[in-house]
Structure 1
Amino acid sequence: MLGPILSRLNAKSIVLGSSSPRRREILSMAGLSFRVVPSRFEENLLKSDYVGRPWDYAKATARGKTEEVFQRLAAENSPPNLIIGADSIVILDGEILEKPRSEKDATSMLHRLSGRTHSVISGVALGVPSKDNTGLTLSTFHEETTVDFASITGDMIDYYVSTKEPMDKAGSYGIQGVAGSFVTAIQGDFYNVMGLPLHRTCKEILKLWDRGLL
């Protein structure tokens, strides 16, 4: 999608404000050249402020990550041309499920997801620093994908948790790993479930380019 402008875009300085290996993999698939500067934003927004609006929670967290990276790099006099921040959450019965706090927490989440349909929402914030590096133009958006889980046994869950794979993932599973065998169907962007909506992200970067912001 970015092919026609890719060589010119890759001449810019692009930063991914995330340590997620899945997001690195997804961005690389688009052909983008970027460096990783993990955000230090403390993910402690009050979920009670976003009841009925989980997408706003994800976008606010993504925005906080992007802004933190910008402020840190601007203070070092090395702001990039584009900063990409993202946050992914799982929604079940209206409740936001993030990364598990422990193996017990992961086990509990997976039992809840068994045989059910849930949503995965990723909030993304694209930040373009001003020419004098004193401000940041932000473009935020979200993508939602629904995921159907098969009924999984306690033994299956115990084994999966023992692999440690669930521990750094929203909802305690990664569709690109062992837990892919639990998924019976999805509706929406597969890469969104991995952690970054590839098509929408490329589309929004292209919009910034067309507006002359990149």
Structure 2
Amino acid sequence: MIKHQHIYLASQSPRRRELLKQIGVHYEVLLLRDDPRRFVQVDETPHDGEIPVDYVQRICREKARAGWETLAMRNLPLLPVLAADTTVTLGGRIIGKPDNNEHAAEILRLLSGSQHQVLTAVAMAFEDRLEMRLSTTTITFDTLSEERMHHYLLTGEAHDKAGAYGIQGHAGAFVKHIDGSYTGVMGLPLYETVELLKLFGYPAP
């Protein structure tokens, strides 16, 4: 097995970067967006009738493959590429990222006083090999008043987050119960990530 001392992280998420640093993984960020030379596209639009668990794994797989193809396009050193995707689901419905504060408020009303699931798929690609793991976590939210939601939205934390919240921020106070992976809800389940690192010869913790 080839031993790798570094990997690429195909994500712009600061939370995923922080989690990799937390466990001492040496990585370089591989940005897939904002590159005029990029020819690899990842369409994150759900397919008709696609269930959340299939959706999150498909997008994660495509991100990992896009990252690997990007290495060749840019003539970068060939190292494993780690990618992840997170989606929130309620009653079989995919709850995406809010378009604005009004949309975020609608999402929070849906989640208020109920249970929802956070699905995070994590994948690693190297050469023609791709391995993936899935983390599923059930979250129970407190019942949220309009005033409480309004104060939360003023923090700006709802933007660009699946389900309009980040568990590591102010919305952590909304979580009444968690059954599963806290880091998975943050966007990178560390247990599953370490499993992948080991499979690809990285000296994981």
TM-score normalised by L of structure 2: 0.88
Amino acid at match of 1:147: I
Alpha-carbon distance in structure 2 between the residues aligned to 1:167 and 1:180: 15
Runs of 4+ with deviation above 2 angstroms:
38-49, 207-210
More helix per residue = 1
- Residue pairs, 1:49-88, within 5 angstroms: 49-51=49-51, 54-88=52-86
Percentage of identical aligned residues: 35
Query: In the aligned structure 2, how far is the partner of 1:183 from the partner of 1:166?
Result: 15
Deviates more, 1:39-48 or 1:111-120: 39-48
TM-superposed CA distance for 1:79, in Å, is 4.0
Where do 1:8-157 residues align within 5 Å?
A: 9-10=4-5, 13-40=6-33, 41-51=41-51, 54-129=52-127, 136-157=128-149
> Which secondary structure does the structure 1 equivalent of 2:158 belong to?
helix
Aligned pair partner of 1:204 in 196, 199, 202 = 196
Deviations 1:151-181 (A, max 9, x none): 0100111111121101111000000000000
Matched to 2:61, the amino acid is R
Unaligned regions of 5+ residues in structure 2, if any?
34-40
Do the aligned partners of 1:174 and 1:194 also contact (CA within 8 Å) in 2?
A: yes
Matched pairs, number: 193
1:146–1:187 Cα contact (<8 Å) kept = yes
CA gap of 1:47–1:161, structure 2 versus 1, over 3 A, is farther
Kept after mapping to 2: 8 A contact 1:17/1:38: yes
What TM-score does the superposition give when structure 1 sets the normalisation length? 0.85
Task: Point out where structure 1 has 5 or more consecutive residues left out of the alignment.
Answer: 1-7, 130-135
- Is contact 1:14–1:80 with CA below 8 Å preserved after alignment? no
Structure 2 distance, partners of 1:88, 1:43, is 15
Q: CA deviation at 1:206?
A: 1.0
Change (3 A) 1:98 1:79: farther
Alpha-carbon distance in 1 for matches of 2:145, 2:120: 28
RMSD: 1.6
- SS of 1:106's equivalent in the other structure is helix
